[in-house]
């Protein structure tokens, strides 16, 4: 009896060893073909450009391509559905960001089914007014909004998305309530504030840099841990006593059930890719170099869990869930 058990154990250990060796062999030459990246945005948008930007050095390093697959519409649900229907074989990733966190908080998708690989980009947004606005500083904005809550309006992109979550968190933590006015695009947001149709706007730094330099827009405050080196006179919200540092971010995830070795191998590639000159040039052009610290699988998982907790709490208070 003992001999039989010993033989069984030996066979099991041998089997595990064979599987382990097979896994090592499988990841040694990984990726051996192109890796598809499903995302919920259309061609030419920010996420598509992100995939292309990191995809160039990815191809140089691996000899394989990152192939963006846009599955638009339905608030991102069709994209997630297609992703979760794919095999967990290391050759399908999803480009994820705050939109997936919001969909999870609303019960539309299950973000715990993502296997985080790398958070690559982390942007910072600001509140702006047009240059001739009577609001001259962040403190002016706070004082006015606290005196007359909701009287000032703020233009932003989309409803019940990232922008509204940030503005909602600002309202909850500042006591300086702004009335959100959603628009379909960033261009419409900028036109609305420059045309005097709204008082304030929210946008990331990259798309507004030329208008700041031209003197058309006045940045009031930045939502980040530190001031931007290029805007040394613009305080952070945290400096003003309002602890809001949410930023739009982009990263990659595999499907749970995939090999952890695949996630580690992909992260290793991204670690090299973000240092490539071609990517650094695009990062700098987009104003993303100030906050974009690369996070690996474990750190990204922790970050994602924290984001889910924050977004769920804010969306509940806003009445969206």
Confidence of residue 22 (pLDDT cuts 50, 70, 90): very low
Contact 103, 75 (CB under 8 A): yes
Which CATH superfamily groups domain 34-123+248-317? Bordetella uptake gene, domain 1 (3.40.190.150)
**pLDDT per position as a tens digit, 157-171:** 988 899 999 999 999
Which CATH superfamily groups domain 125-223? Periplasmic binding protein-like II (3.40.190.10)
Q: Are strands 92-96 and 249-255 parallel, antiparallel or unpaired?
A: antiparallel
Contact 240, 231 (CB under 8 A): no
Non-local (6+) Cβ contacts of 65 within 8 A are: 34, 35, 55, 58, 59
**pLDDT per position as a tens digit, 276-321:** 999 999 999 999 999 999 999 999 999 999 999 999 999 999 888 8
**Distance separating alpha carbons of residues 189 and 23, to the nearest angstrom:** 50
120 pLDDT above the threshold of 50 = yes
**pLDDT per position as a tens digit, 154-204:** 999 988 899 999 999 999 999 999 999 999 999 999 999 999 999 999 999
Which two structure tokens, joined as six digits, stand for 248?
A: 């739009």
To which H or E segment does residue 191 belong? helix 186-194
Residues of the chain with CATH 3.40.190.10: 125-223
DSSP code for 236: B
pLDDT of residue 271: 98
**pLDDT per position as a tens digit, 288-300:** 999 999 999 999 9
Residues of the chain with CATH 3.40.190.150: 34-123+248-317
pLDDT of residue 17: 53
């Amino acid at each position: 009896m003992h001999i039989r058990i010993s033989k069984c154990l030996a066979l099991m250990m041998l089997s595990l060893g064979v599987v382990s060796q097979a896994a090592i062999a499988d990841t040694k030459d990984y990726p051996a073909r192109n890796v598809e990246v499903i995302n919920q945005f259309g061609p030419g948008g920010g996420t598509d450009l992100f995939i292309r930007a990191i995809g160039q050095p990815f191809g140089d390093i691996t000899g394989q391509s990152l192939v963006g697959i846009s599955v638009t519409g339905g608030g991102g649900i069709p994209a997630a559905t297609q992703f979760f229907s794919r095999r967990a074989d290391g050759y399908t990733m999803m480009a994820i960001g705050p939109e997936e966190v919001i969909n999870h908080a609303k019960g539309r998708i299950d973000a715990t089914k993502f296997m985080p690989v790398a958070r690559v980009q982390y942007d910072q947004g600001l509140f702006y007014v047009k240059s001739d606005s009577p609001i001259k500083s962040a403190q002016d904005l706070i004082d006015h909004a606290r005196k007359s809550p909701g009287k000032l309006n703020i233009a932003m992109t989309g409803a019940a998305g990232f922008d509204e979550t940030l503005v909602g968190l600002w309202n909850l933590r500042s006591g300086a309530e702004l009335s959100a006015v959603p628009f379909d695009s960033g261009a419409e947001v900028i036109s609305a504030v420059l045309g005097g149709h709204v008082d304030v706007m929210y946008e990331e730094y990259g798309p507004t840099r030329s208008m700041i330099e031209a003197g058309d827009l006045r940045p009031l405050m930045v939502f980040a841990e530190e001031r931007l080196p290029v805007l040394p006179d613009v305080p952070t919200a945290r400096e003003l006593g309002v602890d809001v540092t949410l930023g739009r971010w982009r990263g990659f995830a595999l499907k749970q059930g995939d090999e952890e070795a695949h996630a580690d191998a992909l992260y290793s590639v991204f670690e090299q890719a973000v240092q490539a000159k071609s990517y650094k040039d695009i990062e700098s052009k987009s104003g993303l170099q100030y906050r974009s610290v690369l996070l690996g699988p474990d750190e990204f998982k922790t970050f994602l869990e924290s984001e889910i907790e924050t977004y769920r709490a804010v969306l509940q208070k806003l009445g969206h869930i």
